[in-house]
């Protein structure tokens, strides 16, 4: 059975903004790290495959969380939308932990001329995680936590 709970629209605007910021950072992380596959000097960079495997996971969960927030902001109010969003935020952060773990491995094994590029990639990842962590905190302050 479905239960509808009216969540005020204004409650979702800050979560939506933070998830949007996180997604914009994710776009940069995906673009920059994928570019490394097309450069002969970095196409087989140690840690790149492992990082990308987790990046797929984090991206999927971010897309789903953001879509859920957009639905809530537009007036939908089903509790399963909220549960999906909260769970996906948590799952994206778990995958982000692994993404973040592999980035220094990549930097450490990169040719010297790519270390600055990978440092920029690391900075984008840090911003992406920071925005998503703030969204998670906002959701918790609103009383929403997952069972993960």
Structure confidence by residue, pLDDT tens digits, 59-105: 999 999 999 999 999 988 888 999 999 999 999 999 999 999 999 99
CA distance 72 to 78: 8
Whether residue 25 lies inside any domain: the answer is: yes
Give the predicted TM-score (pTM) of the model: 0.90
Q: Is the pLDDT of residue 139 over 90?
A: yes
Please give the residue range of the domain that contains residue 70. 9-141
Q: Is residue 135 part of a domain?
A: yes
Q: What is the CATH number of the domain that holds 82?
A: 1.20.120
Domain membership of residue 1 (yes or no) is no
Q: Backbone phi, then psi, for 71, in 5-degree steps?
A: -65, -45
Question: For residue 75, what are its two tokens?
Answer: 């007036």
Q: What is the number of structural domains in the chain? A: 1
Neighbouring CB atoms inside 10 A of 60's CB total 14
Is 51 within a domain? yes
H or E element, residue 147: none
Q: What is the pLDDT of residues 9-65, one digit of tens each?
A: 457 999 999 999 999 999 999 999 999 999 999 999 999 999 999 999 999 999 999
DSSP 78: B
| Under 8 Å between Cβ of 106 and 45 | yes
């Amino acid at each position: 059975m479905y239960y509808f709970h009216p969540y005020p629209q204004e409650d979702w605007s800050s979560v939506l903004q933070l998830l949007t910021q996180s997604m914009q950072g994710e776009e940069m992380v995906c673009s920059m790290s994928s570019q490394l596959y097309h450069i002969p000097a970095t196409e087989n960079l140690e840690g790149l495959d492992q990082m990308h495997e987790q990046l797929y996971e984090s991206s999927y969960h971010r897309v789903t969380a953001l879509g859920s927030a957009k639905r809530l902001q537009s007036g939908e109010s089903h509790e399963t939308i909220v549960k999906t969003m909260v769970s996906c935020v948590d799952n994206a952060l778990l995958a982000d932990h692994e993404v973040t773990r592999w980035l220094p491995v990549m930097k450490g094994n990169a040719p010297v001329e790519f270390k600055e590029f990978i440092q920029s990639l690391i900075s984008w990842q840090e911003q992406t995680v920071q925005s998503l962590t703030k969204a998670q905190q906002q959701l918790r302050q609103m009383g929403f936590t997952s069972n993960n």
